[in-house]
Amino acid sequence: MGHNFIKFQIWNRRLDIAVIGSGMAGLAAARILKDAGHNITIFEALPGRGMDSHSTEFEGGIIDAPLRVMNPHLWKNTLSLAAHLGIPTFPVRTYMACSWLFEDKTETWLTTSRTRIGNIPIINNRKGIQQYGWRLVKGMLQLKTALSKFFKSKDQDITLAEFINRNDIEEVFWHGAVMPVLYTICTCNPKTIGDWPAKPLLIFLRQLTDGDALLRIQGGTSALVTKLIENIEVVSGSAITKVQEQGEKVLVENTQAQQMLFDRVVVATPTTKIEEFLEPTQFAEDIALLKQFKFEQGELVIHTDSSVMPPKRKDWSVLSYMMDRKFTRQQFTVWLNSIEPSLVGKTPVFQTWRPVTDIDPKKVISTVTLTRAVVDSKTVALNKQLQQRHMSAARKVFFCGSWSCDGLPILESAVTSAMHIAEILGAPLPFVGLKPKVEVAPQLGY
């Protein structure tokens, strides 16, 4: 009752709120709070907008970095928010190809497609059926059994590594076909993914066989960002240097020597940045907690070097996975022309995450360094502590981001974390439950 009373008090007055950071969490928080009637100012250290800062044009088409496609079951809040903003989506089919890496050549051992009825994933190359068909089918059946057992058990607070150790799943299926998909969705270091809580990853795997196509926003990330910041003041190109509580207000200062007072502040940056601006005495406990979150970085290379794809053009798929036979080296590549309609008919262009093969530097369009949260059982406990701190009646500064929400560190967890902050501040969430507006799929370059 006390918490509801606090929300009632906040909801009945118009607040001046600063949002620091214009990634997905910051933009979602800003949009929800703006629509609730508050005055919002977004601060971004980069010259443009954080969320689409790496997006670029190529031969008149759109390149999002990273490319964003969403499963309607797992990106519910993100797609509902897009629908609320009037942004349509279109379906895309994410076929895949898996290839063995050799010193002298690359051999494609698996390609997939989907059935016309039911959209069920199937193997569509002879080598995959002859050499690995039974092992893949066996692995799928073993995984289904393991998932059923897991979701019926009371012991679901285990890591992915523990899940693997407890279940006998065919190696070629698990490490050759399943784990590469998890690397794609998590864009994390393969060496750390075993420490992740198993549950959100297994929910994702369970949904993969549902038959629904993934969805992509029309116009890409920039279209979403433009709608999210509509009628909101954005101060970009100037990093925040100070956040300090002053009585009932919070002082925010940036490198342009601008000083502004706000009723509330939402910090939506990686926690590695907080010591650069949080007043160290006032926020000592927050800093001590937030510094325990860990992040890792990886390179996403955007290029036109087709050596990252199967040697035979007929085997090219939306997703190309390459790995050695011991599954110690792997990389994945997205063929952008098969996902983004504005690139159809253009030079083949690719995104490769953490390449282990050499990419011709003359064919590199750009290299983007992406920061991802390290997810493990410790971060789950840290998140609970953070949310408890947010519930204080005296709270004026809040923290959100994909790192501050249990689950995958992707757009969905970023939006969900923003929703948590909005709820504390009494803002309604009118978009929850809205179905994405799906339009006819454009002609893509399959």
| DSSP string of 158-204, one letter each residue | -BHHHHHHHS---HHHIIIIIHHHHHHHH---TTTGGGSBHHHHHHH
The pLDDT score that the predictor gives to residue 11 is: 52
Start-to-end C-alpha separation, the chain: 56
Whole-number Å distance between alpha carbons of 100 and 88? 38
Q: Which two tokens stand for residue 391?
A: 């519930």
Quote the mean pLDDT of the chain: 86
Q: What is the pLDDT of residue 2?
A: 45
**Predicted confidence (pLDDT) at residue 155 exceeds the cutoff of 60:** yes
Please report which helix (H) or strand (E) contains residue 330, including its range.
strand 330-335
H-state helical runs in 373-437: 377-390, 411-424
At 172, list the tokens. Answer: 């070629």
User: Which residue's entry shows tokens 């629904």?
Assistant: 212
> Model confidence over 299-314: pLDDT tens digits?
999 999 999 999 989 8
> Which of 7-21, 208-222, 317-331 is the most confident on average?
317-331
Burial (CB count within 10 angstroms: exposed 0-12, middle 13-18, buried 19+), residue 175: buried
Cβ–Cβ contacts within 10 Å for residue 328, how many? Answer: 11
Residue 61 is which amino acid?
G
State both tokens at 14.
């118009």
pLDDT of 200 reads 79
Which H or E element spans position 112?
strand 106-114
Whether omega before 409 lies within 30 degrees of 0, making that bond cis, reads no
Confidence of residue 350 (pLDDT cuts 50, 70, 90): very high
> Higher pLDDT residue, 233 or 136?
233
Cβ burial of 260 (10 Å; 0-12, 13-18, 19+) is middle
* pLDDT confidence of residue 230: 94
Q: What is the mean pLDDT of residues 410-437?
A: 90
H/E stretch holding 128 reads helix 126-152
Q: So what's the pLDDT on residue 351?
A: 95
Q: pLDDT band at residue 249, thresholds of 50, 70 and 90?
A: very high
Q: Which of helix, strand or coil describes residue 117? A: coil
With a cut of 60, say whether residue 114 has pLDDT above it: no
> Which tokens go with 441?
């799929």
Domains located in the chain, CATH noted: 2-53+220-293+376-424 (3.50.50.60), 89-217+296-373 (3.90.660)
pLDDT at 1: 43
Q: What is the pLDDT of residue 8?
A: 42
The residue-averaged pLDDT of 50-79 equals 86
pTM confidence score? 0.88
